[in-house]
């Protein structure tokens, strides 16, 4: 089943996309970023105050548009965990 990916389509079209960086570990702050009109929001787990549980609540708060996650360290279990959440992008450092 194919689903439309407006974010990817706009990137491929060369559109300039603006984003926000969520590093506070706050669901409320991340939700505000989601409603602020950004084209994407990245939830930072490398430099920010985030862990697996705060990622989940923030991803739920970002039902307004594309979200990517950035997490320090790579292992198979962590990667599977993020893929199951179905967000648009992942960056593992």
User: What mean pLDDT do residues 13-37 have?
Assistant: 90
pLDDT tens string 37-89? 888 888 887 777 877 778 888 888 887 667 776 766 666 666 666 555 555 55
Terminal CA-CA length for the chain: 31
CB-count burial class (<10 Å; 0-12, 13-18, 19+) for 40: buried
* CB half-sphere exposure, 56, CA atoms < 13 A: 5
pLDDT at 46: 77
Q: Which residues contact 13 (CB under 8 A, 6 or more apart)?
A: none
pTM for the structure as a whole: 0.69
Catalytic one of 47, 49, 74, 83: 47
Whether residue 93 is predicted with pLDDT greater than 90 in this model: the reply is no
Domain boundaries, the chain: 16-46
47 catalytically annotated: yes
């Amino acid at each position: 089943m194919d689903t439309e990916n407006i974010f990817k389509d706009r990137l491929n079209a060369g559109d300039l996309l603006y984003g926000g960086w969520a590093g506070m570990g706050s669901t409320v702050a991340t939700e505000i970023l989601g409603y602020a009109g950004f084209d994407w929001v990245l939830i930072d787990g490398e430099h920010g105050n985030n862990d697996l549980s705060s990622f989940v609540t923030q991803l739920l708060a970002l039902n307004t548009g594309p979200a990517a996650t950035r997490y320090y360290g790579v292992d198979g279990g962590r990667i599977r965990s993020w893929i199951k959440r179905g967000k648009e992008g992942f960056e593992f450092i």
